[in-house]
Structure 1
Amino acid sequence: MMVQDLIVKLGWTGFSLPFLAVGLYTMNKGRKQRARSERIAATETTRIGNVRPGTVEVKGTARPAEDANVFDSPIWTEDALATRVEVEKWESSGQGGGNWETVHEEETAVPIAVDDGTAEVRVELPADGGLNVERTRTKVGSGDEPPEPIRRFLETRDDIDEATRRELGPLSFGERRRYSEGVIAPDEEVYVLGTAREEQAGWGDRKYVIDEPTDSGDFVLSDKSETELIREGKRGGLVPLAFGGLLTVVGTLLSIYPWLAM
């Protein structure tokens, strides 16, 4: 019996580990979101004319840099300096619920000149990205044909699988998809948080470029206000913290209960 009891206890412990792992991961994700919003709130805005190497937060009007051009956004073909595109599909749990799973995301940006009236600074998106933009989201229902702009976008992307569709008589069935696109347009007001460095300029002149994350790992290029970004981070971090905490508690109880009860 002792061996059987031990096997049962170890089985319960093994069963609890995914709850603990997912719970801790989710809590950490929420903690990072809230911590970033606190760092945004704590960083003072620098007038661009006073920018020096190091962590900076600047705000101003975005225009293409001298060596850059406006381009068409991938889905809605709007004039853009930077775009973020996300494609999601609905994963059903089989019990009436489910969740949206990201199957494709991309960020694209040309070098941007941000001007606040005192000077301008060059901003380049790092390889890891950092766009946080207002997005237009389009849902395509089960078996529905996507709108023409989305069909055109999909034709240019070999790395995105088409939504599955089946027909049964006059009815069509298939995957549900969501297509989101956010754009930073020319002459739009933007917020930037990152690390500034000095770049080569003319004799006696100093020019700076913001193209790297801060020491804390933050890089943000956004068309949202600082207040919106702070509120978004606090609110967005609260849900994963609460859900992750619940999973962690459940996992902990499942792991210790057999050892106390048997």
Structure 2
Amino acid sequence: MFITKVFILIIIASITNINNTSALKLECTYREPDLHWEAFSRDYTCEGTIRLDGDDENIRTVTNTHREQMRNADVRGLMIVQQRDLQKFPKGLERHFHHLIGIDFEDCGLTKISSDDLMPFKELLQINLSGNRLTELPNDLFQFNPKLKKIDLSGNLIMHVGLEIFNNLQHLTMINMHDNACTSDNAYATKKEELKELVWELSVECPPTLDMLSSSLFGSKEFIDNIKRISGEDSDDVRNELLNEIQGLEKIVQELKRRL
């Protein structure tokens, strides 16, 4: 009986140890940093380091040594700076910090970013991903972040940018894209006309991949509406209209393939 109990305790201890070592941990120093980005200069911020233990991409624990009378719900900014071993955007941050308006992952090792990564942060005003290793920015990257004002993606390896990436961002006051594989040193804008020119420049100098283009064309509202119509109507006219649209889009894709 004694041996059995000891064996069970060993198994439990082993499982506990596995769970502990496979979880990511965010170690925070909490402060109101003196930075030029307004979200961080005014608001309670976690300046942190993520401890990469195991293959789990989720943040399971966060150090909670807050300033007096402050707690996780008061955190508005998150800064993870110069952490080159951070190659993926960590998941589960929203379970700890519900009201982030600023995210700064400057000079880390991120190789990709998606709308799923940013989806929990509906109130996001500013994001700094400069100095990472990003190569592509998908069409829908900011679809869940309509309040964004400032975006810094400088100093990456970006070659392709989705055509619709900024379409839903009506409050933009800054885009910084300089020092990327497809941009010039002056790919920076803060005024309305400058922002329009920069978005146009990106569409030319940083063309979308064929996958991005396909998503943009065949995922459009008009195209989907026509699919719904064709499924609900027995109409040769609608079928022909849809067929013509598909053929036109295919010609565009083929021409882009030829140019690329």
Shared fold, TM over 0.5: no
**Structure of greater relative contact order (alpha carbons < 8 Å, 6+ residues apart):** 1
Write 1 or 2 for the structure with the bigger share of strand. 1
Q: Normalising to structure 2: TM-score of the pair?
A: 0.21
